[in-house]
Amino acid sequence: MEIQKSTTIQDVPENQWRALVGTDNIEQSYSWFQTIEESQVRDMQYIFIKEKSSLQAAACYFIDSYNAFGLNIPFVEVGSPLGMSPSVFSRTDHYTRILLEILSQPLQQTGGIAFLDLSEEQFTFMKQVIEGCIPSPPYENTYLDLHFSDFDDYLQSLPAKNRRSVKITLNRAEKKWKLTKYTTHEFSQWKEVAHRLQSYISAEHKNYRWLLPLSFYDALEKYVQEEAEMMFFFKDDIPLVFSLSLNSSHTCWYKFAGIDPAYRHYHAYFLLYYEGIREAIERHQNRIYFGTSNYEFKEKIGCAREPLYGLVKLHNPLLNFGLRCYIQGMKIMKKRVDFT
């Protein structure tokens, strides 16, 4: 057995990565990690386990910082970068245990580790293996299963009040405000516009962790151009909103929305959802994901919730105990603990 630590996914062949991880989740794909690496939006690190040069298991992680108890603590974050998918892959439980043992060893200049975006099955297994880990309350991703023949069929599935609201917004956008939709795969050409629209959201929430640098769009065009798409809505020649979608043959992920606050009265933000659903149905995809916010609105347009789980551990025993008490208190108050 060979255990290899690396700073690039290119240390393993792409065909072996696809055989281990699968092909339906773009956030876990070889090309997605190439995009992250080249754009330097996250400083990626990897653990590969091989048998006779054949990849049997892998984990992907990066260092990030979180504020806990007023302290800025560097964490090892194990999860898909800029995604909501797990990043521990293994053919057997034996290899998974080896990966978790390696990951649980404190890294220099880090204060803890967080495993994010786990399924219930992964969460149950990992919390039995990782000594001293703390379960965080589950957070929920929103999704819509697309068992519809066309967009009208989707609209008919909604309650009458919600269906009427969607139709009113679409009608006003087309006939009253004359908004136009534009989709493109030319990411480098539109990167400045997308960055500006997304920066408004970051400034509003005072959170720049998810603001994509211009280099990201260049790398995206190089590695994931066919699986990704930009969507804009315009009023005349003014860009109002933006979103990026990642598309496999079965699944769509809508991500990184941006909006110009000066034009909120056009309700173009909602059009991103409606037209995103329309396009996913036309692509014959089975499911579309919309992220972990705006639950009330997303439920009105038919979305359900998928629980995701996390495990966290601080290497300092006293701080780890304090974190356990804090998470338990937040759980009792039914408040979200956000490590993302």
Q: What is the DSSP string of 122-143?
A: HHHHHHHHSTT-EEEEEEEEEE
- pLDDT value of position 260: 97
For residue 69, pLDDT beyond 70: no
For residue 259, pLDDT beyond 60: yes
- pLDDT value of position 233: 98
pLDDT band at 337 (very low <50, low <70, confident <90, very high): low
For residue 340, pLDDT beyond 60: no
d(Cα 96, Cα 90) in Å, to the nearest integer?
Answer: 6
297: β partners = none
Angle between helices 30-39 and 214-223 (to 10 degrees): 150
- pLDDT value of position 321: 87
Helix or strand or coil: residue 174?
A: helix
CA dihedral of residues 51, 53, 59, 61 (deg, nearest 10): 150
pLDDT tens, residue by residue, 170-209? 999 999 999 999 999 999 999 999 999 999 999 998 888 8
Average pLDDT over residues 222-237: 97
Q: Which two tokens stand for residue 103?
A: 């990951």
Question: Burial of 109 by CB count in 10 Å (0-12 exposed, 13-18 middle, 19+ buried)?
Answer: exposed
pTM as predicted? 0.92
Give residues with Cβ within 8 angstroms of 96, minimum separation 6. Answer: 57, 88, 90, 125, 129
Average pLDDT over residues 245-271: 95
pLDDT band at 70 (very low <50, low <70, confident <90, very high): low
Mean pLDDT taken over the chain: 93
pLDDT band at 80 (very low <50, low <70, confident <90, very high): very high
- List the single range of 54-68, 97-111, 172-186, 316-330 with lowest mean pLDDT: 316-330
Domains in the chain and their CATH numbers? 2-139+308-332 (3.40.630.30), 147-285 (3.40.630.30)
Nearest to 291 by CA among 239, 252, 332, 261: 252
- pLDDT value of position 137: 77
pLDDT tens, residue by residue, 90-130? 999 999 999 999 998 888 778 889 999 999 999 999 999 99
DSSP single-letter state for residue 154:
H
44: β partners = 62
For residue 67, pLDDT beyond 80: no
Average pLDDT over residues 49-65: 94
- pLDDT value of position 339: 58
- pLDDT value of position 22: 93
For residue 268, pLDDT beyond 90: yes
- pLDDT value of position 323: 80
